A and B are shown apart, each in its own frame.
Chain A
Amino acid sequence: MDFSWTAQQQQLRAEAKEVAADAVARYGWTADSWINGYCPPFARELAARGWIGISWPKEFGGAGRPAIDRMIIAEELIGAGAPVGSYWVAERQMGPSIFTFGTADQQQRYLPAILAGEATWCIGMSEPGAGSDLASLRTRAVRDGEDFVVNGQKIWTSFGAVSDFVYLICRTSADGPPHAGISELIVSMDSPGIEVRPIKDMAGGAHFCEVFFTDVRVPATNLVGVAGAAFKQTMRQLEHERGGIDRLVSNHALYRRALDRADMTDPLVRQEVAQLETRYRLGRLLVYREALGQAPKGFSAATKLFCTEHERKVADFTARTFGADAMLAGDVSRGLCYANSYTIMGGTSNILRNIVAERILGLPR
């Protein structure tokens, strides 16, 4: 075991802190900045530094650095509230999916724009009748000559209104068991037949959307990986999505402001801060273990659970610290509302508890 950072990683963290502080000074800070911080200019700046795709393999245009380096950057940027939203999903999840499962043509066509911070992607996964239950997806893509024709509806699609592409999880076959006929398609958001309706969330924001597909024609060459294999491919993506540092630091920027204001002479406040610091530090270790690939297989669901439950407690603490002021519209009340979403998106806590119990502990279904 070795919990030290290399000199290079320490340097990277120091640099990331500076970049984050500078971005916050110029663009302002956002809690949940990987969801609400849509800022293409900042994405292009990070791309110019080579920080987008830093852990992607060199052959696909990345820097080939270890995943933990990406965690260091993400932790400092999101922790400070720097606006990373416009490239986040693409860099974290879609790029790795495409370089892992995509064709050479797809890799050449889509990866450079992600690396340049110029493409925003969303994931068309959830449907009104299917959240974590992928096998019950109904949006279908039917082969017609050189194209697929897509019909259906997606919901809770983050960045749906501002994305260039949607990574669509849809049904391409009704034969066989329900999870066997699901495929992944890359769909340009300017395709005719796509309609996007932003959904106002409880905090008054509108990052997520409903996306409707009516006879949308998608070239068959946009199929990613093996037709019908999306269930398995998506599980790999969820490992990227679930076990990340973004799940721990969504409202860390807010927490820092709360700490500045907290009455640290109050023994109860001291106990609570100690609890939060403890869970935060341990959450980081669990996330780093994921990033190193040293966690048990499938443990990312448990890591996400640990981290997002912590995030909710941070929001509670922040609200209590701000007291009556937290009742007013603003960052604190937004954080208080948003805290409800961490434990829903990417799998609700109760579903994750089932997954962990069955897959890690081996408890019977």
Chain B
Amino acid sequence: MDFALSPEQAELQRTVRAFLSEKSDDAAVRRLMEAEVGYDTAVWHQMATQLGLHGLAIAEEHGGAGFGLQEQAIVFEEMGRALLCAPYFATVALAAPALALSDAAAQYLPDIAAGATIATVSTDAATAVQQRADWTLTGELDHVLDGHLADLILVSAGDGLFAVAGDANGVKRELLATMDQTRKQARLTLDSVPARRIGSAAILGQVLDIAVVLLAAEQVGGASACLEQTVEYAKVREQFGRPIGSFQAIKHTWTEMLLEVESARAAAQYAAWAADAAPEELPVAAALAKAHCSEAYARVATESIQLHGGIGFTWEHRTHLYYKRAKSSELLFGAPAAHREQLVTRLAL
């Protein structure tokens, strides 16, 4: 039992935090969230090639660094803090783990590690038709993260998991107007699109456990940033001749928020550790972390707006960006109640 980051992990955290504080500041976030492409290609390539973030948890044989989910979670925590706008979650938390479990790992993962491929996974299933060795997929896929620009889309159909090229004939992509502009979603319509079967549909279940753990880490990062920024504001903002942070009601609220964040961090770290070291505990730990971290982030972001008062409800202030990310990620891959239901099922209570 050890809660401390290793020196290497602490170094990774420092490096990513410093990088993102420069590349994903408020101005960058606002510029990118309003653009259709939604990410900065230069930053994307620096992340992949200079920092090696895309391939961090990809096996060395596929061009990655071969680290575990704990290191990957550290990166996502920092991205959550900085509200990074990039198709990183879709590519690295969803598609890469799916590809790693598929028959096509060697083909696709090196390009993902290199930052050359943007990929995503649909949680909606399509219908597959086979003609001799060739498959085609048809269906409507909703809420596909970064689906408007992904080079590679992974979709389940029947008992298979399929790879579809983003620009294949018959793929219609529609960027959706989303509440959280910092993470893009698309609706995809597939009409007899050529696809390649790369594994079993069961892969998606395993991948979602990994993705929600990384999402939980991202939520912890967002919640901590929100907490820190709000507490700093409470120390300096004066009303009735004293800092508002000296009012007991505010102290009590923010102590509760601190506990939300610290317990959420424990949940996310435990789950990431389980993914690496105790896979038999991952299903329970993942469901627990997704439910708990989702609610923790949403609460912190909500209270953050309240503490800021009128300014907290303005477009100009940063709190709404966290709030929108928090509410969206709370609902992504199923709301907390669904994960709690999974938790008791998986605990066999």
Contacts and interface: CB of A to CB of B under 8 A. Distances in A.
A267 B337 CA distance: 10
Contacts of A352: 255
A328 interface: no
A294 B4 contact: yes
Interface string A245-262: 000000000000001000
Contacts of A358: 251
B340 A364 contact: no
Given A274-B340, A277-B347, A364-B245, A357 B251 contact: yes
B137 interface: no
B113 interface: no
Contact of A357 (B254, B263, B292): B254
A288 B278 CA distance: 18
A354 B248 contact: yes
A286 interface: yes
Contacts of A324: none
A286 B344 contact: no
Interface stretch (A2-10, A35-43, A106-114, A180-188): A2-10
Interface residues on B, range: 35 or more
B254 A363 contact: yes
B224 to A, nearest CB: 12
Contact of A285 (B4, B266, B347): B266
B347 to A, nearest CB: 7
Interface residues on A, range: 35 or more
A358 B277 CA distance: 38
Nearest to A294: B3
A292 interface: yes
Interface in A1-28: 1-5, 9
A259 B348 CA distance: 12
Interface stretch (B84-92, B103-111, B168-176, B267-275): B267-275
Contacts of A5: 1
A357 B259 CA distance: 11
A365 B267 CA distance: 31
B57 interface: no
A364 B349 contact: no
B344 A305 contact: no
Interface string A37-68: 00000000000000000000000000000001
A240 interface: no
Given A2-B1, A356-B255, A278 B343 contact: yes
A353 B1 contact: no
A281 interface: yes
Contact of B70 (A1, A283, A354, A356): A1
Contacts of A68: 1
Interface in A327-348: none
B235 interface: yes
A264 B255 contact: no
A174 interface: no
Given A292-B3, A354-B251, A363-B246, A271 B337 contact: yes
Interface in B1-32: 1-6, 9
Given A305-B255, A305-B259, A357-B254, A277 B270 contact: no
Q: Which 6 pairs, one residue from A and one from B, show the smallest C-beta to C-beta distance?
A: A357-B251, A274-B340, A363-B245, A285-B266, A353-B252, A353-B255
Given A279-B263, A282-B263, A285-B270, 15 more contacts: A2-B1, A2-B2, A3-B1, A3-B274, A5-B1, A271-B337, A274-B341, A278-B291, A282-B292, A285-B263, A288-B1, A292-B2, A299-B262, A357-B245, A361-B255
6 contacts: A3-B273, A271-B340, A299-B262, A353-B252, A353-B256, A363-B231
